[in-house]
Amino acid sequence: MNPTNRIAQLVEQLNEHNYRYAVLNDPVISDREYDALLRELSDLEARHPDLIQPDSPTQRVTSDLTREFPTVQHDVPMLSLDNTYSEDELRDFEDRIRRELPDEELQYVAELKIDGVALSLIYENGLLIRGVTRGNGTQGEDITPNVKTIKSIPIRLKACAEMGLFSNPVSYCEIRGEVYLDHNTFDAINVQREKNEENPFANPRNAASGSLKLQDAQQVAERRLSFFAYSFRSPNIQLPTHGENLSYLESLGLPVNTNRALCNNIDDIIAQAREWQEKRPDLPYDIDGIVIKVNSIAQQNKLGATSKSPRWAISYKYSAEQAETVLKHITLQVGRTGVITPVANLEPVQLAGTTVSRATLHNAEELERKDIREGDTVILEKGGDVIPKVVRVVTAKRAKDAAEFEFPKNCPVCDAPLIKDETEVAIRCENSQCTAQLKGNIRHFASRTAMDIEGLGTALVEQLVDNKLVRDVGDLYNLKLEELADLERMAEKSAQNVLDALEANKQQPFHRVLFALGIRHIGATVARALSDNFHSIDRLRETPPEEIEAVHEIGAAIAESIHTYLNIESNWAIVEKLRAAGINLESEAPADTGPKPLEGKTVVVTGTFTRWGRQQAQDLIRALGGKPTSSVSGKTDLVIAGEKAGSKLAKAEQLGIDVLNEEKFIELIGEENA
Residues annotated as catalytic are 113
Of 223 and 260, which CB lies nearer to ligand IVH in the complex structure? 260
Closest approach, Cβ 298 to ligand IVH, in A, equals 17
Work out the angle at residue 28's Cα, subtended by the Cα atoms of residues 211 and 9, and round it to the nearest 5 degrees. 125
Alpha-carbon span 347 to 341, nearest angstrom: 19
State the first-to-last Cα distance of the chain, in angstroms, to the nearest integer.
Answer: 52
- Using CB under 6 A as the binding rule, the residues of this chain from 169 to 188 that contact ligand IVH are 178
By C-beta, is 81 or 364 nearer to ligand IVH? 81
Q: Which is nearer to ligand IVH, 257 or 360 (CB)?
A: 257
Nearer Cβ to ligand IVH, position 81 or 263? 81
CA distance 292 to 263: 9
Shortest Cβ distance from residue 200 to ligand IVH (Å)? 23
Quote the radius of gyration of the chain (alpha carbons, Å).
Answer: 29
Residue of 440, 494, 483, 491 lying closest to 462 (CA atoms):
440
For the segment 217-246, give every residue that binds ligand IVH (CB under 6 A): 230
When asked if residue 81 is in the footprint of ligand IVH (CB under 6 A), the reply is yes
Shortest spacing between CB 178 and ligand IVH, in angstroms: 4
Stretch that binds ligand IVH, among 73-81, 447-455, 497-505, 548-556 (CB under 6 A): 73-81
Q: Which stretch binds ligand IVH (CB under 6 A): 15-23, 109-117, 191-199, 512-520?
A: 109-117
Instruction: List the interface residues with ligand IVH, window 307-336 (CB under 6 A).
Output: 309-310, 313
CA–CA dist 204, 353 (Å, integer): 9
Distance CA 227, CA 175 (A): 11
Q: Contact at 8 Å (CB) between 300 and 294?
A: yes
Give the relative orientation of helices 458-466 and 435-446 as an angle to the nearest 10 degrees: 140
How far is the C-alpha of 628 from the C-alpha of 638, rounded, in Å? 10
Contacting ligand IVH (CB under 6 A), which of 23, 52, 61, 79?
A: 79
Pairing relationship of beta strands 172-180 and 226-233 according to DSSP bridges: antiparallel
Instruction: Provide the 8-state DSSP code for 384.
Output: S
CB under 6 A: which stretch of 112-120, 140-148, 400-408, 477-485 binds ligand IVH? 112-120
How would you label 450-485 residue by residue, b for 16+ Cβ within 10 Å and e otherwise? Answer: bbbbeebbeebbebbbeeebbebbbbbbebeeeebb
Residues 587-606 that bind ligand IVH (CB under 6 A): none
Q: DSSP assignment, residue 534?
A: H
Least Å distance, CB 114 to ligand IVH, is 4
Return d(Cα 222, Cα 228) in angstroms, integer.
19
Q: What is the distance, to the nearest Å, from the Cα of residue 277 to the centroid of all Cα atoms in its chain? A: 26
Chosen residue from 118, 143, 359, 393 binding ligand IVH by CB under 6 A: 118
Q: Which residues contact 66 (CB under 8 A, 6 or more apart)?
A: 22, 23, 141, 213, 647
Structural contact between residues 408 and 427, judged by C-beta atoms closer than 8 angstroms: no
CA distance 661 to 426: 48
Nearest one of 316, 394, 315, 320 to 352, comparing CA atoms: 320
User: How far apart are CB 116 and ligand IVH at their closest, in Å?
Assistant: 7
User: Does residue 339 interact with ligand IVH by CB under 6 A?
Assistant: no
- Closest to ligand IVH by CB, 313 vs 605, is 313
Q: Which of 31, 64, 111, 286 binds ligand IVH (CB under 6 A)?
A: 111
- Asked if 141 interacts with ligand IVH (CB under 6 A), we say no
Span of 75-83, 370-378, 480-488, 641-649 interacting with ligand IVH by CB under 6 A: 75-83
Which CB, 63 or 561, lies closer to ligand IVH?
A: 63
Question: Rule CB under 6 A: which of 277-306 touch ligand IVH?
Answer: 291
Closest CA to 135 of 215, 55, 80, 87: 80
65 binds ligand IVH (CB under 6 A): no
Residue 527 binds to ligand IVH (criterion: CB under 6 A): no
How many residues in the shown chain lie near ligand IVH by CB under 6 A? Answer: 13
Q: Would you give the DSSP letter of residue 59?
A: G
> Minimum CB separation from ligand IVH for residue 505, in Å?
44
Q: Which stretch binds ligand IVH (CB under 6 A): 111-119, 191-199, 421-429, 533-541?
A: 111-119
Q: Does 114 bind ligand IVH (CB under 6 A)?
A: yes
What does the CA dihedral 165, 167, 169, 170 come to, rounded to 10 degrees?
Answer: -60
Residue 112 CB, nearest approach to ligand IVH (Å): 6
Which residue among 80, 331, 333, 350 contacts ligand IVH (CB under 6 A)? 80
**Which CB atom, from 83 or from 505, has the smaller least distance to ligand IVH?**
83
Name the residue nearer to ligand IVH (CB basis): 68 or 286.
Answer: 286
Q: Is residue 113 close enough to count as binding ligand IVH by CB under 6 A? A: yes
SS3 157: coil
Among residues 109 and 460, whose Cβ is nearest to ligand IVH? 109
| Environment class of 446 (CB within 10 Å of its CB; exposed 0-12, middle 13-18, buried 19+) | buried
**Strands 638-641 and 658-660, sheet pairing:** parallel
> In angstroms, what is the minimal distance from the CB of 290 to ligand IVH?
8
Residues forming contacts to ligand IVH in the complex (CB under 6 A) are 79-81, 111, 113-114, 118, 178, 230, 291, 309-310, 313
